[in-house]
Amino acid sequence: MEQIILIKNAQVLAPEPLGRRDVLISGNSIAAIGENFSVADSNLPVTVIDASEHYLVPGFVDSLVHFIGGGGEGGFATRTPEMQLTDATLGGVTTAIGVLGTDATTRTLTNLLAKAHALQIEGISTYCHTGSYEIPCRTVTGNITDDLILIDKIIGVGEIAISDHRSSQPTISEIRKVAAAARVGGMLSGKGGIVSVHVGAGDSLLQPLFDAVTGSELTVKQFYPTHMNRNNAVFESGLRFAKAGGVIDFTTSTTDYDLKHGEVAAAQALARALQAGIPAMQLTLSSDGNASLPIFNEDGDLLGLQVGQVRTLYQSAREAVQQYHVSLADAITAITAAPAAVLGLKQKGRIAVGLDADLVLLRHDDLTIDQVFAMGKQLVAAGQPLVKGTFEP
106 φ/ψ angles, rounded to the nearest 5 degrees: -90, -15
Q: Which is nearer to Zn ion, 24 or 93 (CB)?
A: 93
28 φ/ψ angles, rounded to the nearest 5 degrees: -85, -5
State the minimum distance, in angstroms, from the CB of residue 101 to Zn ion: 6
Q: Quick one: which segment of 36-44, 166-174, 193-201, 319-327 binds Zn ion (CB under 5 A)?
A: 193-201
- Cβ neighbours of residue 248 under 8 Å, at least 6 residues apart? 224, 225, 226, 228, 238, 239, 241, 242, 273, 278, 282, 283, 284
Q: Quick one: which segment of 115-123, 191-199, 241-249, 332-340 binds Zn ion (CB under 5 A)?
A: 191-199
CA 53 to chain centre: 27
State the minimum distance, in angstroms, from the CB of residue 227 to Zn ion: 6
State the minimum distance, in angstroms, from the CB of residue 1 to Zn ion: 45
- Cβ neighbours of residue 371 under 8 Å, at least 6 residues apart? 49, 54, 360, 361, 378, 380, 381, 382
Q: Which is nearer to Zn ion, 126 or 286 (CB)?
A: 286
Cβ proximity of 326 and 271 under 8 Å: yes
Cβ proximity of 75 and 301 under 8 Å: no
CB atoms within 10 A of CB 70: 27
CB atoms within 10 A of CB 93: 28
- Cβ neighbours of residue 96 under 8 Å, at least 6 residues apart? 61, 62, 65, 67, 83, 88, 119, 124, 125, 126, 127, 289, 310
Total residues at interface with Zn ion (CB under 5 A): 2
Q: Which is nearer to Zn ion, 21 or 198 (CB)?
A: 198
Largest CA distance in the chain: 72
Give alpha helix (H) positions in the chain.
85-89, 109-122, 144-150, 172-189, 207-213, 232-243, 256-260, 266-275, 312-324, 328-333, 337-343
For residues 100 to 139, the per-residue mask of contacts with Zn ion, x marking binding by CB under 5 A and - elsewhere, is ----------------------------------------
Which residue has its beta carbon closest to Zn ion? 198
Q: Which is nearer to Zn ion, 159 or 330 (CB)?
A: 159
Query: In the range 196-225, which residues lie near Zn ion by CB under 5 A?
Result: 198
State the minimum distance, in angstroms, from the CB of residue 166 to Zn ion: 9
State the minimum distance, in angstroms, from the CB of residue 102 to Zn ion: 8
Sort strands 359-363 and 302-307 into parallel, antiparallel or unpaired. Answer: unpaired
Dist CA 168 CA 357 (whole Å): 40
Query: In the range 9-28, which residues lie near Zn ion by CB under 5 A?
Result: none
3-class SS at 337? helix
Q: Based on the residue annotation, tell me whether 211 is a catalytic residue of this protein.
A: no
- Cβ neighbours of residue 207 under 8 Å, at least 6 residues apart? 163, 237
Q: Which is nearer to Zn ion, 147 or 249 (CB)?
A: 249
State the minimum distance, in angstroms, from the CB of residue 288 to Zn ion: 6
Query: In the range 135-164, which residues lie near Zn ion by CB under 5 A?
Result: 159
Q: Which is nearer to Zn ion, 139 or 253 (CB)?
A: 253
Q: Which is nearer to Zn ion, 20 or 165 (CB)?
A: 165
230 interacts with Zn ion by CB under 5 A = no
State the minimum distance, in angstroms, from the CB of residue 113 to Zn ion: 20
Catalytic one of 87, 288, 330, 370: 288
Q: Quick one: which segment of 39-47, 102-110, 172-180, 195-203 binds Zn ion (CB under 5 A)?
A: 195-203
The residue ranges that bind Zn ion (CB under 5 A) are 159, 198
Active site residues: 288
